[in-house]
Structure 1
Amino acid sequence: MSPQAIAGRYELLEGLDSGGMGDVWRGYDAVLDRPVAVKLIRQQAVLGSPQLAEEFAKRFRREARITAKIRHTGVPQVYDAVLDDSFEWLYLVMELVDGVALSSYIHPERPLPVSWAAAVAAQVATVLSYAHEVPVIHRDLKPGNILVARDGTVKVLDFGIAAILRSDATKLTATGTPIGTYQYMAPEQVRGGRTSTQTDLYALGCILHELLCGSLLFSGASEYVVMSQHVNAAPTPLRTLRPDVPEALEDLVLHLLLKAPEARPADVQEVYERLRPFLPPPGQQPSPGEERWNGAPDPTGIFRNPYAPRARAGEGRRPTPTTVDPGVAAAVPVPVPEQLRAEIEEAYQHSDALLEEERYAQAAEVLGELIEPAARALGEESRRVLGLRRQRAAIRLLGGDFRAALPEFEALADAYARTDGPTGERARGCRAQAARCRGELGQVTDALAALRSVLEVVRTVDGDVSNEAVELRRDIGMLLLAQGQAAEAERILTPLYDDLCLVFGADDEMTEEVAEALALIRLDLDGTAG
C-alpha cells in the first residue's frame, strides 16, 4: 500500500478489518481535519481494457451516489468515492463508526436476551426501510456488516458494494459465483436469479435466528452443502433450540426464511411491527436478564430512552483515577523504558508538526494512541502520562472540541491535586482550562465561579499581577462582558488595565485587548453602563 494520501487528502493510518470484498482502514481527511473510514475494494483481477475500466468507474461512482442518498443515522455517511488513475485501487471514504461488530454478540453458549436481538433486528429493519425506498437492496446483509455503536445505535455497512461488484465488467468474482455470503444467502441468490427487497428480508431472518440461538441457520462441510440447504432444507424452529423464545418471534423468523420471495413478509415495515411487542417500552429499566451483555453496547437503549439528550459533558467518560493510600508517601517514579521514551518523544514531535498545519483532531489522536500503553507501563498518574493527557486536552481546546476537552481537564485537575496538592500550579491550571471550556459551552455561571475560585488561590500564591493572575482576571472580565454585564466587567477590567500598563506596558497584546474592551464598554451601545 502506497504511503501517499489518496486523492491528495485521505491518509491510511491502520487496518481495521479484512473481508472478502475489501479491507477497511482507519484514515484521516487532511482537508477537513477529521477521522474517516476508508473501504478498499479488493481487486481480484486486472481490468482488461480502458473501456472496461471506464465502465467500472462509472458503476462505482453511480452506486456510491445512490448509497449516499440513504438518509438515516443507521447508515454511515459516504463522503467520497475515489478510483485512482491506474484503476488498481478502489476506495469508498465514509464516516468512521466507533462500535462493536454484531458478530461479537453471537455466542453458542450464551444467546442474547430476546429484547436485545429484537432491538438489533428492529433497527436493521428501520435502516432497510429507508434503503428500499431509494431503492437500494443490500444483497450481503450479515453480522460482519453490522456494527453496534457505543450508544447502542445499529449501523449497517457496505450498502451498494454488492451492486458495484455484480457487473461482469469488473471480473471481481469467479465466473458463476453469486454475490453474497453463503451462510446468509437467499435461495434466489444461490440460483443466480433476480434479487429484490425480499432477499434482504431472508438475510435478516438468518441473522435473527443466529442472534437468538447462537449458531448459524445452516452449516455443512462445504459452501455447496450450505447453499443447497438454503434452497432445499427446512430451518429448525427456534423454540426447538431455545424454548424461551416467544412463539410469535419464532413465527416471524420462519416467515422471513420462506424459500419463495413472494411468500415472505410484504416489506420491512411489517417486520418492524411484528418485532415491536418484544422491544422495551420507553422508560422501562432492564430486568436482571437484560443487563449489559459481556460489556457490549446495549441496542435497547434507544427504545428505553427515545430522543434522550446527549450525555452531560464528562458523563461516563472521566477516567477512573488510580487509588492512592493517603497513609503512604508518593510512589517512587517508575523508570521509563528507553523504547517508550523514544515513542513518546516521537509522538510529541509528530503532534507538533500536525499542529503547525492546524490538523488538531489528528494531532490529539497521535498523543492519544500512546496514553494507554504508557499508563500500563508507568502508572495512570505518572508524570509522563499526565503530560500526554494534558497536551491532548490542550490541543482539543485549541481545536474547538470543548466537549472532549472539558472532562479531560477536570480529571487532570483531580489527578494533579493528588500528586502536587490542590493548590499546585498544574492542578489550578487544569481547573482554569476546564472553566474556559465551560464558558465556550455556554455554562457561564459555573465558568465564572471556577475562574474566581482559581484566581483566589493564585492571588494567595503569586500575587495579583503574575501571568496566571492577569489571564484569569482578563477571562473573568471578558466573560462578564459577553454576558451583557458591562458594569461588572468594567469594574474588573479597569484595574486590570492599570496593572497591565504598569507591569507589561501599553503596547503589550493583552493590554491592548483590555483597552479595546473598555472602549467598547464606554461606548455604552446598550445604554446599560453604570
Structure 2
Amino acid sequence: MIIGDRYELDDLPLGRGGMGEVYGGYDQKLDRRVAVKLIRFPYGRSDETLVKRFIHESRIMAKLEHPGAPALYEADVYEDPSFGPRPFMVMQFVEGATLDHILGEHGALPLGWAAGIAAQVAAVLCAAHERGIFHRDLKPSNLMVCHEGTVKVLDFGLAMFHDPELPRLTRTGAIMGTPAYMSPEQVRGAAVGPQSDLYSLGLVLHEMLTGQRVFDGSTEYHLFEMQVHEPAPSVRVHRSDVPEELDRLVQRLLAKRAEDRPAQAKAVHDALLPFVNEVRPLLGVMSPGLSPVRMYAEVVSRIAGGADARSEPVPRTATSPEPFQQATSGGFDFSHGDLARACSQAEALAKASRYGQAVEVLSAVVVPADRMLGPLDDEVLALRLRLAEVLFEGGDYRRAAPAFGELHRDRARKHGPYDERVLHCRRQEATCQALMGETGKALSMLKGLLADEQAVYGGNDPRPLELRRQIGLLELGAGDTERARLTLSALLDDLTRLHGPEHPDVTKVRNSLIRLTM
C-alpha cells in the first residue's frame, strides 16, 4: 500500500497499540526507510475535530528535537477506503531492540544498564515536558535500545489526543493507556502532568531491576485497583545488591500521590547518573567496537560537563526582546496600523497551527509597541494577550505563564482586578503551572481565582462552576482523594439542582466521582 503518494508500507505492521498500527515503510522520494504510524481514532470512528487536533498537536510534537526521540518527518491525512480520512505520521526508522524483548531475553538487567536506560528516558521526558508534551503510555515496548547503547522513546501517540482548550488539564472519554504502566491519576481520569510519566518510568525502572512487573493482575480492573491502592514493593526485596538510595528513588517515583513524586524529570536524571558506571556491553543489545555516536557523545560530555553548564537557564518571558525584535525596533516608525497588520498576519499563522512563526511576528512588534504607546495602552494589552495565547496554544507553557502573569497585573492597574480579561489571564497562568507539573501552585492560584469569580459572576455562572471541576480534577490528580471527593460532590449537587440529573456537565462530574471509587 502506498499513502501520501510516496510512502510504500510493508505488508505487516511492526506493532499495534491503542492509537493505531506502526508499519515499516519506504520513502520513494528520498530513498530511505521510515516508520509510518496510522492513527486509529478513539471510539473507532473518524471525526473532523480530531483530524484538526491531530494536525495541531503534530506541529507541537515536531518541535521535540532530541536525540532520544525519533524525528517526525511528516503528519498528514489520507483517504482510507474502510475508515475514511485517516491521519498518519512518518517518523525516523529506528534500529534496535525494544526493552520488553531485552527483558524477556535477559530478565533483570545489570544495575548500570537499568539506571542508564532510565536516565536517558528521563532526559527525553525533560525535553518533552518543557514543550508541554506528556507521553501517557511509557512502557518497555515503547523504549528502543539502539546498538550504540542509546535509547529512543517511541510512540508519543496518546499525547496527540488531549483536550486543546482549558479542560486540557485532563483527558475526555474513556481511559486510554496500558493498565500495567498507568499512573493512579490516569486510572481515575484526573489531571495528568509530568509526574504521571515519572510514575510510569518508576514502574519500568523497577521492572528492569527485578525482572518482574510491579503490578500484574488477571484483569484490567484488578490492575487499576493495584495502581491506585497497592504500594509498590521495595526493589531490595527482590534484589539485595540494589543500593538503598536507588531503592528510595524508585519508591518516590511510585508514590500514589503525584505531589510526593519528583517534580521534574531533570531531578530523576541527575539522581540516576551516579549509578551509571561500569556498564559493560549487553549481549545481543550493544554492538562492540567503534561507535561514531559514542565518540560524539563523549566530546559533548567533556564540553558541557561542568556543574555551571548544567544549571538551568533563566526562563525568558514572552515580552523579552529576541534577536529579531532588536533588529526591527531601532528606528522603527511605529503606528497602530503596524499593530493591526502584525495581528492579522499572526492570526492567520496561528489558525494554520504555525505557532512558532506567529510568535515571531507578534514578538517583533510587542517591544516597539510598548515603547511607543505604553504598556497599558489597550491595543498593546490586546497584542500581549494574543502573544500569550499563541504561546499557550503552541505548548510553550514556560513562556506563557509569566506572560499571563504580567498581563493580569498590568491590566488590573488600568481596568481593575475584576475585569473579565484579568480573570481570564489569571486562569491561564494557573493552567500553565498545572501543565508544567506545579500542581500545588496551580491549585492555590485557582482557589483564589474561584473566590473572585464567584463574587463577580455569582455561584451559578458556568465559569466558576467549570473552575470548580478543574480544581476537583487537579486535587484528584495530586492524590488528595478526600478533598477531591468533597469538591466534586458539592459541585454535583449544585449542577444537578441547576440543570437536572441528565445534563452533560452533571454526567462528567458524576463519572469523575465514580472513578474515585477505584
Matched, 1:129 2:126: yes
| 1:443-522 to 2 correspondences below 5 Å | none
- Preserved contact between residue 166 and residue 179 of structure 1 (Cα < 8 Å): no
- Preserved contact between residue 153 and residue 302 of structure 1 (Cα < 8 Å): no
User: Residue 83 of structure 1 aligns with which residue?
Assistant: 77
Matched, 1:64 2:61: no
User: Residue 110 of structure 2 aligns with which residue?
Assistant: 113
- Preserved contact between residue 11 and residue 29 of structure 1 (Cα < 8 Å): yes
- Preserved contact between residue 175 and residue 186 of structure 2 (Cα < 8 Å): yes
Amino acid aligned to 2:34: V
Q: Report Cα offsets for 1:226-263 as digits up to 9, x if no partner.
A: 11111111110000111111111100000001011111
Amino acid aligned to 1:158: D
Classify the secondary structure of the residue corresponding to 1:158.
coil
Matched, 1:148 2:145: yes
Matched, 1:179 2:176: yes
Shift in Å at residue 44 of structure 1?
Answer: 6.4
Which residue, 205, 220, 225 being the options, matches 1:208?
A: 205
2: CA distance, partners of 1:298 / 1:236: 34
1: CA distance, partners of 2:31 / 2:296: 31
2: CA distance, partners of 1:181 / 1:272: 24
Q: Provide the aligned C-alpha RMSD in A.
A: 2.8
Q: Report Cα offsets for 1:153-194 as digits up to 9, x if no partner.
A: 1000112x21334469xxxxx995312111011110111001
Amino acid aligned to 2:237: T
Matched, 1:29 2:23: no
2: CA distance, partners of 1:84 / 1:69: 23
- Preserved contact between residue 96 and residue 285 of structure 2 (Cα < 8 Å): no
2: CA distance, partners of 1:208 / 1:268: 14
Aligned length in residues: 289
Shift in Å at residue 28 of structure 1?
Answer: 1.1
TM-score (norm 2): 0.52
2: CA distance, partners of 1:273 / 1:46: 41
Shift in Å at residue 297 of structure 1?
Answer: 2.3
User: Residue 189 of structure 2 aligns with which residue?
Assistant: 192
Give the 3 Å change call, closer, same or farther, for CA 193–37 of structure 1 in structure 2.
same
Shift in Å at residue 104 of structure 1?
Answer: 1.4
- Preserved contact between residue 116 and residue 298 of structure 1 (Cα < 8 Å): no
Shift in Å at residue 144 of structure 1?
Answer: 0.9
1: CA distance, partners of 2:159 / 2:119: 24
Shift in Å at residue 89 of structure 1?
Answer: 2.8
Q: Which has the higher helix share?
A: 2
Classify the secondary structure of the residue corresponding to 2:3.
coil
Which residue, 41, 50, 54 being the options, matches 2:48?
A: 54
Amino acid aligned to 2:25: G
User: Residue 93 of structure 2 aligns with which residue?
Assistant: 96
Amino acid aligned to 2:88: Y
User: Residue 286 of structure 2 aligns with which residue?
Assistant: 297
Classify the secondary structure of the residue corresponding to 1:106.
helix
2: CA distance, partners of 1:196 / 1:124: 16
User: Residue 277 of structure 1 aligns with which residue?
Assistant: 274
Give the 3 Å change call, closer, same or farther, for CA 234–65 of structure 1 in structure 2.
same
Give the 3 Å change call, closer, same or farther, for CA 175–268 of structure 1 in structure 2.
closer
Amino acid aligned to 1:95: Q
| 1:268-417 to 2 correspondences below 5 Å | 268-280=265-277, 286=278, 290-297=279-286, 307-308=297-298
Classify the secondary structure of the residue corresponding to 2:10.
strand
What is the percent sequence identity of the aligned residues? 44
- Preserved contact between residue 279 and residue 303 of structure 1 (Cα < 8 Å): no
Give the 3 Å change call, closer, same or farther, for CA 44–194 of structure 1 in structure 2.
closer
Give the 3 Å change call, closer, same or farther, for CA 75–60 of structure 1 in structure 2.
same
User: Residue 252 of structure 2 aligns with which residue?
Assistant: 255
- Preserved contact between residue 108 and residue 214 of structure 1 (Cα < 8 Å): no
2: CA distance, partners of 1:10 / 1:303: 28
Shift in Å at residue 7 of structure 1?
Answer: 1.2
2: CA distance, partners of 1:234 / 1:38: 38
- Preserved contact between residue 28 and residue 34 of structure 1 (Cα < 8 Å): yes
- Preserved contact between residue 18 and residue 177 of structure 2 (Cα < 8 Å): no
User: Residue 380 of structure 1 aligns with which residue?
Assistant: none
2: CA distance, partners of 1:109 / 1:32: 38
User: Residue 406 of structure 2 aligns with which residue?
Assistant: none
Shift in Å at residue 305 of structure 1?
Answer: 5.9
Shift in Å at residue 12 of structure 1?
Answer: 0.4
- Preserved contact between residue 152 and residue 302 of structure 1 (Cα < 8 Å): no
Give the 3 Å change call, closer, same or farther, for CA 218–302 of structure 1 in structure 2.
farther
User: Residue 16 of structure 1 aligns with which residue?
Assistant: 14
TM-score (norm 1): 0.51
Give the 3 Å change call, closer, same or farther, for CA 109–72 of structure 1 in structure 2.
closer
User: Residue 362 of structure 1 aligns with which residue?
Assistant: none
Which structure: larger Rg? 1
Higher mean C-alpha displacement, 37-46 vs 301-310: 301-310
Any unmatched runs of 5+ in structure 1? 169-173, 281-285, 311-530
Amino acid aligned to 2:107: R
Q: Report Cα offsets for 1:328-362 as digits up to 9, x if no partner.
A: xxxxxxxxxxxxxxxxxxxxxxxxxxxxxxxxxxx
Classify the secondary structure of the residue corresponding to 1:92.
strand
2: CA distance, partners of 1:304 / 1:230: 38
User: Residue 504 of structure 2 aligns with which residue?
Assistant: none
Amino acid aligned to 2:54: F
Which residue, 38, 45, 70 being the options, matches 1:40?
A: 38
1: CA distance, partners of 2:173 / 2:131: 28
1: CA distance, partners of 2:276 / 2:111: 9
User: Residue 444 of structure 1 aligns with which residue?
Assistant: none
1: CA distance, partners of 2:14 / 2:271: 35
Amino acid aligned to 2:121: V
Classify the secondary structure of the residue corresponding to 1:89.
strand
Give the 3 Å change call, closer, same or farther, for CA 276–44 of structure 1 in structure 2.
closer
Amino acid aligned to 1:70: L
1: CA distance, partners of 2:147 / 2:233: 33
Give the 3 Å change call, closer, same or farther, for CA 72–44 of structure 1 in structure 2.
closer
Give the 3 Å change call, closer, same or farther, for CA 118–273 of structure 1 in structure 2.
same
2: CA distance, partners of 1:215 / 1:112: 11
Higher mean C-alpha displacement, 61-70 vs 81-90: 81-90
2: CA distance, partners of 1:43 / 1:108: 34
Which residue, 186, 203, 222 being the options, matches 1:225?
A: 222
